[in-house]
Amino acid sequence: MNQIKRADIRSGMSVAIVLKEDQASGKLTDGIVRDILTKSPLHPHGIKVRLMSREVGRVKKIY
């Protein structure tokens, strides 16, 4: 499994996240990273971030 590391994510990057309510369907939401919320370098479900739109989810793709 190719995990995204916290060190790979920076504020201002374009990413795709999965929101909490979309975890079952796997629907992705695109946006720009505002804050990185996960403190650990890795997380099994993805690094949690807040987008500029204030949505919170786990990073699944970096563009």
Specify whether the CB–CB gap between 58 and 37 falls below 8 A.
Answer: no
> pLDDT at residue 1 above 60?
no
Q: What is the pLDDT of residues 40-57, one digit of tens each?
A: 999 999 999 999 999 999
Query: What is the pLDDT, as a whole number, of residue 3?
Result: 87
> pLDDT at residue 8 above 80?
yes
59 exposure class (CB count in 10 Å sphere: 0-12, 13-18, 19+): buried
Q: What is the pLDDT of residues 17-35, one digit of tens each?
A: 999 999 999 999 999 999 9
The pTM score is 0.92
> pLDDT at residue 2 above 80?
no
